[in-house]
């Protein structure tokens, strides 16, 4: 079933791995998926999580100074 998702993109694969490690440690939901073409054509990983977690994810990004390129909402 398609639903709204919070998507976080990164400048590097290393940034994506840092996000995954931080989310696992903080107990925040989500997983790494290929970046949808509606955000960026090409390749790369993004963190996909329920929209309800967006605020907590943003706070984590700020607190850990994670190397994030952008934060989006998309129906996936």
Partner 1 sequence: MIYLDNAATTRPKPPEVAEAVVRAMDGFGNSGRGAHAGALSAARTVYSVREKLCALFHGPGPEHVAFTANSTLALNIAISGLLGPEDHVISTDWEHNSVLRPLYRLRERGMGLSFLPADRSGRLDCGALEGLLRPNTRAVVCTHASNLTGDLMDLPAVGTFVRRHGLLWILDASQTAGLFPIDMERWGISAVCFTGHKSLLGPHGTGGLCVGRGVEIRPFAVGGTGVQSYSERQPEAYPTRLEAGTLNGHGLAGLGAALDFLERTGADAVRVRESALARRFYEGVRRLPGVRVYGDFAAPERAPIVTLNLGDRDSGEVSDELAERFGIATRPGAHCAPRLHRALGTTDQGAVRFSWSYFNTEEETDAAIRAVACLAEEERG
Give SS3 for 49.
strand
Which is nearer to partner 1, 19 or 57 (by Cβ)? Answer: 19
Which is nearer to partner 1, 12 or 55 (by Cβ)? Answer: 12
Could you tell me which residues come within 8 angstroms of residue 33 by beta carbon, excluding any fewer than 6 positions away? Answer: 45, 46, 48
Min. distance of Cβ 44 from partner 1 in angstroms?
A: 4
Min. distance of Cβ 63 from partner 1 in angstroms?
A: 14
Give all strands (DSSP E) within the chain, no chain letters.
4-10, 31-34, 45-50, 68-75
Which residues would be at the binding site for partner 1 (CB under 8 A)? 10-18, 20-21, 32-34, 41-45, 67
């Amino acid at each position: 079933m398609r639903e709204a998702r919070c998507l976080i993109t990164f400048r590097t694969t290393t940034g994506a791995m840092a996000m995954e490690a931080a989310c696992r440690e903080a107990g925040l939901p989500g997983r790494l998926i290929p970046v949808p073409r509606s955000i960026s054509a090409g390749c790369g990983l993004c963190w996909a999580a329920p929209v309800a977690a967006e605020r907590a994810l943003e706070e984590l990004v700020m607190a850990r100074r994670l190397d994030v390129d952008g934060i989006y909402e998309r129906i996936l």
